């Protein structure tokens, strides 16, 4: 199961942590490939195109992004929201993905 946790502060998207696997065979898992591609596109666009102030953490089976000034980076916030929406759509279509939004202080 892929776990996608998105974080909001005062209703404003400020980051995410995506972890796990969909469980398909290595090299043949289209769900994992789709999620990985969408996550990396989001991370790279936030940091390289929008040049947002963000902390990125990439580990085995886990990627996290935290916007350091989400109030300022509206384009980056919108992209994080778009990733959440995309993963929800993938989950509805194929399963294997748990998507949650958590409010933080």
Residue 27 has pLDDT above 90, yes or no: no
CATH code for the domain defined by 2-104: 3.30.70.1490
Long-range contacts of 32-41 (CB under 8 A, 24+ apart): 32/2, 34/90, 35/2, 35/4, 35/87, 35/90, 35/97, 38/83, 38/86, 38/87, 39/63, 39/83
**For range 75-92, the mean pLDDT:** 97
Please answer whether residues 90 and 2 qualify as being in contact, where contact means their C-beta atoms are separated by less than 8 angstroms.
no
pLDDT tens digits, one per residue of 37-52: 999 999 999 999 999 9
pTM: 0.93
Domain ranges within the chain, ordered by starting residue:
2-104
């Amino acid at each position: 199961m892929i776990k996608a946790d998105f974080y909001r502060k005062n209703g404003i998207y400020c980051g995410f942590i995506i972890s796990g696997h969909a469980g398909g065979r290595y090299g043949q898992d289209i769900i994992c490939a789709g999620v990985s591609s969408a996550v990396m596109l989001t991370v790279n666009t936030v940091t390289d195109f929008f040049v947002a102030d963000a902390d990125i953490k990439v580990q085995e089976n886990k990627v996290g992004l935290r916007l350091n000034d989400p109030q300022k980076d509206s384009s980056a916030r919108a992209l994080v929201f778009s990733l959440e929406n995309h993963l929800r759509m993938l989950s509805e279509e194929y399963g294997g993905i748990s998507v949650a939004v958590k409010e933080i202080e």
